[in-house]
A and B are shown apart, each in its own frame.
Chain A
């Protein structure tokens, strides 16, 4: 199945990705997504029925894993150092514009 990407698709995906694309960007994105996804449709040539998806390569070798680490409480990052990088803060919280209910 090759879905031809539409203008609506670009708008919907941009909303999902929280990207506010300009009209020029949207036009370019429509063209790029279509040409890239057309190329990726080659994967449909392959029969993959019954093939388990591979999400984590560490399962491929015995040396891959360690068990989960011990769940012990340790100091994390110092708050002051973290808040020093915040665009807007009262020292404790990250300040952001209000959320407006639609």
Chain B
């Protein structure tokens, strides 16, 4: 490896596709235990600088690998993700394996159970390599809020990978996993996917179980996959999606064969382009790349038409009021009593609560708890939280109106290419505005995919966000495949 740590050539690497991996396995070219070792060697080389993984689950991974190898040796039918090396964002609990949510307040915490999505991946044969770095409690857009140091973008290690699922996106971009799971509350899957040049999926709210996801904002949180290509991302969604009795908000809607659906051509689909996402603040080169993507969709036989989403400009304040209010309630459980960090030498119970929380939480988390508590407090509830919930309905309804005219809506995923580490950390509001294109879908509960769509002149990745109405992930995947095929 060259000594120039700044070069992408040292870190960027495309993983094999899921079908190629499966063929290697079924045709006897590779053993899963060797594959897992290969991934651990690559992690060993790259992780010190990129800081993608917070912890590794080697025993668990190797036990799973041996299990799958034994099945293959006997000629038993192999489960759908047999041997696939995956990484899990550290906001998802893994039984017996440290899960920190990127926070000091959960340093060394060993959950007594697995998140449903982790259990489903393992039941499908996937090999869980370790836990991925993220912004603390999923609060951030750059992975610079992690209590364990930032993640570096494999495309350009002086730049952020995006957040909050920065580790999940970077792991795929650097082939430190074939696929990963992240979470998305206001854009935390889509935006890092865009910044790292990989595919990220925002499933419809309720499509994937949140059981075992350390909660940030319960009406907004979603779990979703990252992969190097759209079809593999669709395959992963099919494995983790589906009703879970342990999640009261999970949907009984049948799980489609998303990968097969994504094979269908996009020809004939009606694509909406909202002017509100192409205005001031959008970088000119990002705009140019997305316009090329839209032209490619037209060439593929899609009907492109304008749609109107007039309340878009109110989405960021709406999101930050709803999300922080819910977060202030969800993070009340971190009090030093039952798990996690307890501040030593507190004289009273009350002091123990406030010292543990002040010492255990980072600055951004405290800021959001304060904002949320303020917005919910007596005298302010109507003006802030209730108002935001009303605007949320207006935003959701205008999406539904748009989807009565089009099958999918396409926008840039982020207004800029990935920015430099430290560039936006001085101004919280500037960081919040980075979410401008993603929070609308979060508030409405609809689904989407961020798919790579060209690069800037500096070689930085651009992502296109493809949105579809509730439970129409298949439509979003079909459009994303068409953009991917155009190789913008």
Interface residues of A (CB under 8 A from B): 1, 3, 5, 9-10, 12-14, 16-22, 25, 28-29, 32-33, 35-37, 39-40, 42-46, 48, 51-58, 60-61, 63-66, 68-69, 77-78, 81-82, 84-88, 94, 96-100
Contact = CB atoms under 8 A, between A and B. Distances in A.
A99 B348 CA distance: 6
A58 B251 contact: yes
19 contacts: A5-B374, A14-B370, A18-B335, A18-B353, A29-B367, A36-B371, A42-B313, A54-B389, A61-B471, A64-B251, A68-B248, A82-B112, A85-B110, A85-B340, A86-B338, A87-B342, A97-B347, A97-B348, A100-B347
A97 B342 CA distance: 11
Nearest to A70: B245
Given A18-B354, A18-B357, A21-B366, A46 B389 contact: no
Interface string B311-343: 101101110110000001000100111111110
Interface in B441-455: 443-445
Contacts of A64: 206, 251, 470
Nearest to B345: A97
B40 interface: no
A57 B444 contact: yes
B106 to A, nearest CB: 10
Interface centre among B112, B253, B353, B428 (most CB of A within 10 A): B112
B308 interface: no
B338 A85 contact: yes
B360 to A, nearest CB: 10
Contacts of B109: 85
Interface of B: 109-113, 204-206, 219, 243, 245, 248-253, 311, 313-314, 316-318, 320-321, 328, 332, 335-342, 346-355, 357-358, 361, 363, 366-367, 369-371, 373-374, 377, 379-380, 383-384, 386-394, 396, 400, 428-429, 432, 443-445, 469-471
A94 B338 contact: yes
A9 to B, nearest CB: 7
Given A20-B354, A63-B252, A52 B470 contact: no
Nearest to A69: B245
Contacts of B357: 17-20
B391 A36 contact: no
Q: Which 6 pairs, one residue from A and one from B, show the smallest C-beta to C-beta distance? A: A57-B445, A53-B389, A63-B253, A20-B354, A87-B342, A81-B112
B321 A40 contact: yes
A93 to B, nearest CB: 11
A37 B347 CA distance: 35
Given A51-B394, A78-B112, A60 B470 contact: yes
Interface centre among B347, B369, B393 (most CB of A within 10 A): B393
Contacts of A66: 243, 250-252
B427 to A, nearest CB: 9
Contacts of A51: 390, 393-394
A10 B351 CA distance: 18
B390 A13 contact: no
A20 B251 contact: no
Given A53-B390, A87-B342, A40 B317 contact: yes
Given A20-B355, A85-B110, A87-B342, A99 B366 contact: no
A97 B370 CA distance: 25
B311 A56 contact: no
Given A57-B445, A69-B245, A46 B391 contact: yes
Contact of A87 (B205, B321, B336, B347): B336
B226 to A, nearest CB: 23
A61 B390 CA distance: 18
B251 A10 contact: no
B391 A43 contact: yes
A81 B123 CA distance: 23
B345 to A, nearest CB: 9
Contacts of A96: 337, 349, 352
B396 A57 contact: yes
Contact of B206 (A3, A40, A58): A58
A48 B394 contact: yes
B386 to A, nearest CB: 6
A32 B366 CA distance: 11
A12 B379 CA distance: 13
Contacts of A99: 348-350
